[in-house]
Amino acid sequence: MESSATQRSHAADAEPVQLPLTRIGAGFSFLSGMRVLDLSTSVAGPYATMLLGDMGADVIKIERPGIGDDARAWGPPFLDGESLWYVAVNRNKRSVTLDIVAPRGREILDALIKASDVVLLNQPLRVQKKLGVDAVACRAIRPDIVHVSITGFGLQGMRADWPCYDLIAEGYSGIMDITGEADGPAQKIGAPAADMLAGQDAAFATVSALFERTRTGAGRSIDVSLVDSMTRFLSCRMVPYLGSQEMPRRSGGKDSVIAIYQAFETADLPLTLGLGNDTIWKRFWRALDRSDIGDRECYNTNVKRREHRVEIVSIIQDLLRQHPRDHWLGLFSRNRVPAGPIYRLDEVAQDSGLLQRGLFYTLDDNGRLLPQVGTGFHVDGKANVPRRAPQRLGASTVEVLCDLAKLGDGDIESLRRDGVI
């Protein structure tokens, strides 16, 4: 059997992924009529506002003239000069370039705040106050504004002014300490988990505040912390520790509260197997025609199976090595035993089930082809459709300033000449 390292190396030889083409459409409209002013950069804030845009909000993304969002420079890889990290979290927005420090830029920003329902940003409170975009300042312009901050450590507390990235938040949260093999170093999760979780928290809190505003007419100040969001992700680990003082340790994913819940080798490729209750335990052994093992009294509860985990894992591992992965996945699927492959990303992108759900697609923006990961859930049996592609820097500047700031052509030209936009 090939080693996992050899199997993984084959990813470099994978064929280019061909995704279904999707064009701009109506999309979900739950937040139609809501306007979000996005003053954030990088991943967490832009992901939050993309989720709001996916739900129908009009998102206006303010970017620095000539530079834009930090993520526009993150690469390689680039696609036709665009950072794919930026493309991943910035659809359904209008990009406006604006120097908000310049006096005329500040006037325009105030007009945009007044025309918005939500302001979202990722600067610490000290910087917010310096720029005049803290909750108090924004509420002086629009009293019912929903003001959303995403920072590393929150707006209050001993670390409120400290800089932070996803990596730092993962370290603080404890997730890195319990990720990796037992005899290996702590590991970061292979995606910006703290950023994405904080972005989801911010979007959820924003929608909740907007819903409340329909009853009260009042805005809210929302304070989201990367470290808080990432630590909350560990609730199912933290609460057992707090209640028992039993310290979880790195195990390569082999220490679940469920006795058999881990990866196994087969005759060719690894698979995952989760025997989460007594019924599934018995179905698994019936599928293998080994009910004699499944019926043993010493294994008849999860507690007992955890006591005998080492020997059970050894028995299962010996059996699974007798046939290839696909043999087992077919057998387990027919017998309703939870199991699955350990995909590389190229395999994920070509998975027929995910493609059928509309999760991956290439967005055709008048011939500009951009890969996308969809909203991720269906409504009334349908997947979401993007209303707007991730825009080039400043693509909607003139449109927004004319419509919302009520500027004329001469004003626009003057601002452009002076580098304000």
Report the alpha-carbon angle 301-305-307, nearest 5: 120
Which element (helix H / strand E) includes 239?
Answer: helix 235-244
d(CA 272, CA 102): 56
H-state helical runs in 222-290: 226-232, 235-244, 278-287
C-beta separation of 200 from 228 below 8 A: no
**Kind of pairing, strands 368-373 and 360-365?**
antiparallel
d(CA 20, CA 372): 10
**Kind of pairing, strands 146-151 and 58-63?**
unpaired
Backbone angles phi, psi at 114, to 5 degrees: -65, -30
- Identify the DSSP state of 223: E
C-beta separation of 356 from 330 below 8 A: no
| Cβ atoms within 10 Å, residue 290 | 14
d(CA 169, CA 85): 19
DSSP string, 149-176: EEESS-SSSTTTT----HHHHHHHHTTT
Backbone angles phi, psi at 263, to 5 degrees: -90, 150
d(CA 378, CA 406): 38
Please tell me which residue in 195, 201, 223, 228 is annotated as part of the active site: 195
d(CA 355, CA 374): 10
**Active site (annotated) includes residue 80:** no
d(CA 361, CA 358): 7
C-beta separation of 272 from 342 below 8 A: yes
C-beta separation of 154 from 228 below 8 A: yes
Which positions are catalytic? Answer: 195
